[in-house]
A = this chain, B = another copy of it.
């Protein structure tokens, strides 16, 4: 490609509304152009990256046996009513009426449509397993679209859906997708982690997020540097930090702690370690009658160590809390604890509450907690002696850095990531709702076991840039760069030698399969170099009269501190080697 036949449009300054670095750089590099909130034009430079990302995904999906089709953007509401999502989903589901006032939605994903295809097309166990995918425009009417393509409203997603005869088959389909995703992200050339994620109501352990590592990521990823363990913070298991409970050594004592309502303040006041305090969190669950009225509420006291945080996803897995919970009201707290929040604890309750202790708390001795009296705490609290054993002991806290890895292979570290892919076992959630059955070997109808597998195509661009950039601009991995190399002739209009050498090198690289651009715009060197550093092309070759005279051209990798001087005749081979073409 020659620059004069392409469209290059860079900006010195990013628009004011660009908040994160990837958004700023994509705007400045002319990759995207804002059309509306969360809606972008993909300009020629950006579209080239998208097409490369799509091509890698497509190759690996096909290699893994998935079959590409194309499901519509505008989908009839009927199918979404079958699964209940038409009503259950909030306004992020874009609803639209046609000229006959019939309801449609603009697809955020395609579970309903693909399940509708499967229930019509896959009639026998002989046709299973099958995995259908498409790469298609999606829309989610985000309340607050932001971060450019990272949380846009219209975006491109690859979504695949597997159909199996049984759970064992579904696990195999899942594994095949997991392996394909690893190949895809390896080929992107991005640093990433596949982390175990919560499976919600489905259960099991077949849910992984593919997270691109970036300091600016919204998600916390827990991993063990000395083992394979990796999970997102919602799921990562927190083991007890105390192997067993020590014997009581202190007497139970009520201590004044005036105005000190946080564990940290109490520990400081008393000169005791924060790790000896216990934090009280009060939840409530409601029982409803058929009319939907609350007929009974139960109050729960959740205890985590003073230096730990409650993990609500984990709390939601405790028997009795699975159906959903809320934080208790001040009235409920006062009714059960006889005290306002800030000084609560498990001893001296006015009314019974269900007590759930985190694993670590359950093994603590001589701990400190609220006295259920304003401005007072208890020290030397011991399970069994001062209060009954907890009703439930469970993992209900977030892990923190340095916690033991649940696989026993080391200690945990935490880093930030951007979720760009998700593989998920769906079970029969959709096949049941839509009655997607097949005839098994005995001729009996059985529900298909499903999995779904997404990659945010346009989001990959943002994540890649968040991970790979510097003060000068984007640093694309070679596999998804808009161009792999750029030939920058200096003074091409004045020097026939430069013109000839630049074209020769351009043609040589093209012939070798390098996706190369010849910058024939006639820009001054400074502006030209700044453009390509901003756009982030991996390798730049400068063709100048001086270089030609010296017999050496300057080749500079985007991450190189300095250019390499390479003999003119060797430049092609050198560039190819740098790009591993």
Seen from chain A, the residues whose Cβ lies within 8 Å of a Cβ on chain B are: 5-7, 9, 33, 35-36, 39-44, 47, 50, 65, 67-76, 91-92, 94, 96, 98-99, 104, 106, 113, 116-117, 120-121, 130, 132, 136-137, 139, 141, 143, 153-154
16 A-B pairs (CB sep. < 8 Å): A7-B130, A7-B132, A33-B121, A35-B71, A35-B72, A35-B76, A39-B72, A41-B72, A43-B69, A47-B69, A73-B139, A73-B154, A74-B153, A99-B141, A106-B106, A137-B137
Which residues from B are CB-within-8-Å of A43? 69, 117
A76 and B39 within 8 A (CB)? yes
Shortest beta-carbon distance from A14 to chain B in Å: 15
**Other-chain contact of A113, B41, B121, B136 (Cβ < 8 Å):** B41
The residues of B that contact A113 with a CB separation of less than 8 Å are 35, 41
Q: Which residue of B lies closest to A9 (CB)?
A: B121
> In the assembly, what is the distance between CA of A72 and CA of B43, in Å?
11
Indicate which residue in B6, B94, B98, B116 contacts A141 across the interface (CB closer than 8 Å): B98
Question: Which B residues touch A6, using CB under 8 A?
Answer: 67
Given contacts A5-B65, A35-B113, A41-B69, 6 further A-B contacts (CB under 8 A): A41-B70, A43-B69, A72-B154, A74-B154, A94-B98, A99-B143
Identify which of B71, B96, B99, B143 contacts A96 (C-beta below 8 A): B96
Q: Output the residue of A7, A65, A91, A137 with the most chain B CB within 10 A.
A: A7
Task: Kindly state the separation between the CA atoms of A120 and B5 in the bound complex, as whole angstroms.
Answer: 19
Instruction: Pick the contact of A117: B41, B50, B143 (CB < 8 A).
Output: B41
The 9 A-B pairs of least Cβ separation, nearest first, read A91-B99, A42-B70, A36-B76, A96-B96, A44-B67, A7-B67, A72-B154, A99-B141, A39-B72
Q: Which residues of B contact A98 (CB under 8 A)?
A: 94, 141, 153
Cross-chain contact of A47 among B41, B70, B143 (Cβ < 8 A): B70
B71 pairs with A41, CB closer than 8 A: yes
Please pick, from B44, B120, B139, the residue contacting A74 in the complex, using a CB distance under 8 A: B139
Question: Are A117 and B69 closer than 8 Å at their CB atoms?
Answer: no
In the complex, the answer to whether A69 meets B91 with C-beta atoms within 8 Å is no
| A99 contact set on B, CB distance < 8 A | 91-92, 141, 143
**How far is it, in angstroms, between the C-alpha of A339 and the C-alpha of B187 when the chains are bound?**
82
Copies of this chain, count = 2
CA separation between A39 and B105, bound complex, in Å?
Answer: 13
Closest chain-B Cβ to A503's Cβ sits at a distance in Å of 18
A176 to B326, CA, bound (A): 66
Residue picked from A9, A41, A94, A141, most chain B C-beta under 10 Å: A41
Select A42's contact among B42, B69, B96, B116, beta carbons within 8 Å: B69
Nearest-neighbour CB distance to chain B for A6, whole angstroms, equals 6
A39 to B98, CA, bound (A): 12
In the complex, chain B residues whose CB is within 8 Å of the CB of A76 = 35-36, 39
**Which residue among A5, A35, A137 has the maximum number of chain B CB atoms within 10 Å of its CB?**
A35
Closest CB in chain B relative to A79 CB, distance in Å: 8
Q: How far is the CA of A74 from the CA of B130 in the complex (A)?
A: 32
Q: Kindly report which residue of chain B lies nearest to residue A1, judged by CB atoms.
A: B62
Q: How far is the CA of A139 from the CA of B106 in the complex (A)?
A: 11
| A69 and B91 alpha carbons, distance in the complex (Å) | 29
Residues of B with C-beta under 8 A to A50: 70
- Measured CB to CB, the closest approach of chain B to A478, in angstroms, equals 21
Q: Which of A6, A69, A136 has the most CB of B within 10 A?
A: A69
Q: Which residue of B lies closest to A116 (CB)?
A: B35
Measured in the bound complex, the distance between the Cα atoms of B94 and A104 in whole Å is 11
Measured between C-beta atoms, what is the minimum distance from A360 to chain B in Å?
42
Residue of B9, B47, B69, B137 near A73 (CB, 8 A) is B137
CB distance from A372 to the nearest CB of B (A): 44
Please pick, from B72, B121, B136, the residue contacting A40 in the complex, using a CB distance under 8 A.
B72
Q: What is the minimal beta-carbon distance from A471 to any residue of chain B, in angstroms?
A: 26
Task: Report chain B residues within 8 Å CB of A67.
Answer: 5-7, 44
Q: How far is the CB of A571 from chain B (nearest CB, A)?
A: 27
Complex Cα distance, B127 from A6, in Å, reads 11
* Complex Cα spacing A7 to B43, Å: 35
Please indicate the chain B residues that have their CB under 8 angstroms from the CB of A121 in the complex. Answer: 7, 9, 33
Chain B residue at minimum C-beta to C-beta distance from A30? B121
Which one of A68, A92, A130 has the greatest number of beta carbons of chain B within 10 Å?
Answer: A68
Complex Cα–Cα for A552 and B139 (A):
55
**Complex contact B47–A68 (CB within 8 A):** yes
* Interchain CB contact under 8 A, B73 and A44: no
Please indicate the chain B residues that have their CB under 8 angstroms from the CB of A69 in the complex. Answer: 7, 41-44, 47
Task: Give the chain B neighbours of A5 by CB distance below 8 A.
Answer: 65, 67
For A73, what are the chain B residues with a Cβ–Cβ distance below 8 Å? Answer: 73, 106, 137, 139, 154
A215 to B545, CA, bound (A): 64
* A429 CA / B535 CA spacing, docked (Å): 35
